Chain A
Amino acid sequence: MPRPEQKLIKLTIDGREIEAVEGTMLVDAAKQGDVEIPYFCYERRLGQPVGACRMCLVEIEGIPKLQTSCSTGVRDGMVVHTQTERVHEAQNAIVEFLLVNHPLDCPVCDKGGECPLQDISFGWGLGRTRVVEPKRHFQKPLALSPLIAIDRERCILCYRCVRFSQEIAEDWQLIFADRGSHTFVSTHDGHPYVAPFSGNIVELCPVGALTSQPYRFRARPWDIEGAGGVCTLCPAQCNVEFTVRDEKVVRVLIREHDGVDDGWLCDKGRFAYQAIHVDERITRPLVRDGGQLRPVSWERAFETAAEIARHQGRTAALVGGGASNEEAFLLQRLLREGLYSHDIDSRPGGALPLELARTLAAPALQASVPDLEFAHTVLVLGTEPLDEIPILDLRIRKGVRRNGVKLAIASPRPSALDPNAAVSLRYAPDGEAAFLSALEAALGHASSGSGDDVASLAELLRSGGEDVVIVYGESLAPAALESLVRIARLLGLEGRDGAGLLGVPASANGRGVREAGALPNAGPGYAELGAPRGRDAAAIAAAAAGGELSALYLLEVDPVRELPDRAAWEAALHHAGLVIAHASVLTDGLRDHATVIFPAESHAEKEGTVVHPDGRLQRLRAAIAHPGEVRAGWSVIAELARRCGHDLGVLTSSMAFRQLVAAVPFYAGITLEQIGGRGVRWPERPEAAALPAGGGSAQTPGAAAGTVQPAAAGQTNGHLRLGTYRSIWAAPEVEISPALHYTIAEQLVELSPADARRLEVGDGDEVLVGSGGTRLRGRAAVRTGVPEGTAFLATGIAQASANHLTEPLVEVRRA
């Protein structure tokens, strides 16, 4: 659905002429014209107005009854009155009615001071009550979930929270039960409202009925300050506002950005701020001493780390997604210029050929986030947005729901978006290349008539409309990506506005750190390396384990925890003589092997820039001072470089940014001021042309590759294929945030009903999953959607993570 055309019209409100886009709801148009109309139930982001609270009634000339301005689209020549006797009477009436059952317990209410009901009662009510009848009473507060408390007395039944659950998150868990004045917000049979986006209802609630358990009674509005920031706990990079009290982040709110988050936040982003202020956080430099990591002075830490200078040519670095562009940029400088090594990587799945990397980053192929909402067709390929880039899950749903976007899903594992999809197909884990070449072949032929899934997907992509956006995951191997590029070209997506590719990196700033040069085969800006190419992640592990590398620099990443093949990384870290890490949590690999740990900044402390998967440079700003002895990451790298005899020439973070811009041609001219609070999408700027063109990748796929490996292909002597998934909650920050403890789950082994039956495993049974000599313990989850022949295991979790397993086939049996 191409974006609707916007027509400007003029209307009059209270005698003022106001210009607005035709069809804008009257409340919004009035706001633009500086006329304030009170309202409760309306919320633009929630879509269709419900007109339930009746607070927004106004008089429109030519219509006898008062109208709800929240549901009336503006038309040219409309004449509106908001200050007449009739309107005032209606407003007074509604305020009085709202307070019939409201407890007016403002002094002990967490919402006090930032409560729309308070404000509107004051501004539009009569300030007295004629109610002498008893109000309705409930026990209060009650738990609605581990994160949210509900006070049903305060609820004005405005519909916002239930609409969020039903129409935005579409989890349909939060409901109204009963009817009339008995209506109350509820869930099914006392189940908690646990869902990845549940926290949004706290922010939506216009009274103190829904409050955040972690924030309750932590502060009053006059105690706090708001500081704009960007959440870098995942690649979605939602814009947030940190609520700060006494240099502590006590709450995270949305800072709506249509181009990024559409005004929503996931519960990880909203509640994992707690990891900033817990005892588990590393806030002092640590050095291994007698086998133990001990807090030391910065001087001592630098001294130890500066040993790295002696490992020239034998040092490798891994860059995690929490790192800023500047940190990645400076680190690759240190490595390349100071230590003569190109062994730096940030892509867990293996390096891409440079040509391919350039093609995938090319402006002509980039789709933007809002394109998801207005495309004809969206294909989600090899990624689960809900887990890997949660906020896009909501965006994709929105497009399907509101604009009739046709959705296709192709993935090994069932997706939360399957029910919304027109076509949803499964390929085997590691089967993506075969799948894509089959798709490519199907697209090449005119309608083949064959009714299989790939053919119907091809048909949908080909004839569903030109604007196709393909969201793909980082797990795709180079061959699959080559195929993907050809498919994009076949579909004519190149250079097409509103269409293109959107790559979801495995880590928050994956795109940024690669553009900054954290790749073994490219410098900043995907520049060709004069020198021989470096090792990618897997090769680094092998080389370190084999003694070819003697120092490892881990910038906000613990490969033992995060990367595939845990055993290989354990060996690598074990054998490296020097392991330097920037970290804020002591994960397994670091606890066992790090030589020096520099305390890393949280996203609320960092200054710098990051790049959104759609190419938007965003700016991180310090909302709070560094706790303990934490220092800025860029300054630590710069200082270490100086001590290694290689001065990088940066004294401030903005100097680092200027160096980055100078080094990356397609960033040319961008300033921090331009990025400001809203970001700059570099692919939209003319300077984007400076990105070297990628290769043609023209070869056609082999004829033999025309079929998808059927997902249900039989088992190999009773073994199942291993598929992995990484839950939204699988993150160290989540584990140490007390409010999110409930999300820590044991290993869930997802099995198809048929396999479960065959293996005599019941839902919830304990199972052992083995490959090679490794056995993992987990709990079976029998799921109808799981294709027969595959077992899915979680990675990225602290215990029994699937990265212990390396073979493609596993044996599953009851423990």
Chain B
Amino acid sequence: MFRIIHAQFLAPGIKRFVIEAPRIARRQKPGQFVILRIYEEGERIPVTIENSDPEKGTVSIVVQAAGKTTTLLNSLNTGDSILDVVGPLGKPSEIANYGTVVVVGGGVGTAMAYPTAAALKRAGNRVLSIIGARNKELVILESEMRAVSDALMITTDDGSYADKGFVTDKLRQLIQNGARIDLVVAVGPIVMMKAVSELTRKENIHTVVSLNPIMIDGTGMCGGCRVMIDGKSEFACVDGPEFDGHRVNFEVLVQRNSMYRTAEQRSMEDFKHRHEAEHACMATSSAASSANQGEQR
């Protein structure tokens, strides 16, 4: 059992949990994630690590409610426990002094981009960060990102905060303004990472994306998280989750993440019905249409 020592909403449907997990806290590096299971009948889902405190033995994770498991998770509070938390999984981000790095965080992906941005800054890079969200309420970790960036740009889809538009608009501007960019790191929804990769491919800017396929064990055993890289299968949990964005087949990732959509919707509906029956109303907003376990990171 892993005790939640602090739980707090960062935005509607997006919650941060500080969990007691001393082993994970000691080893966690930027770019890695955990897999968790809330209760005995629960599924295993990969979740973003925002950061960790090795001294206190705690790990901070950020979860966006999308399907049943994440909705249930976001109903947990300080003092509750999570049955299983395993990690840190995946290869850490490759941190070096590249020169100028643009770190792009989309939605809840910002939570995963943040420790990488911080590490890149510590390694001496000039870090230009762009974070994007659907609207003002969903912008997360703004002050944290600002603290580790030489410049921070924010976009919202509806223009309710900062600049209206997409993260790619900002990236395009940077490129058009002739800024020298040595590396782009993009973490967020698949469409965003794909758009970023397409933009930087033309400019020949090395681009790293963090992939979020469906996963079970997270140790390479099951092969469920296979992604197509340069036409070949690689496993996101042991070979990734970070890959060269120019080599990733994003269509296959979208297609494979849709594999259980019917089951996920059924699971969510069952859950809502039961929940509604018990509590007459549901605290958390309903599932996003793209609800699925693979989209957590």
Chain B binds chain A: no
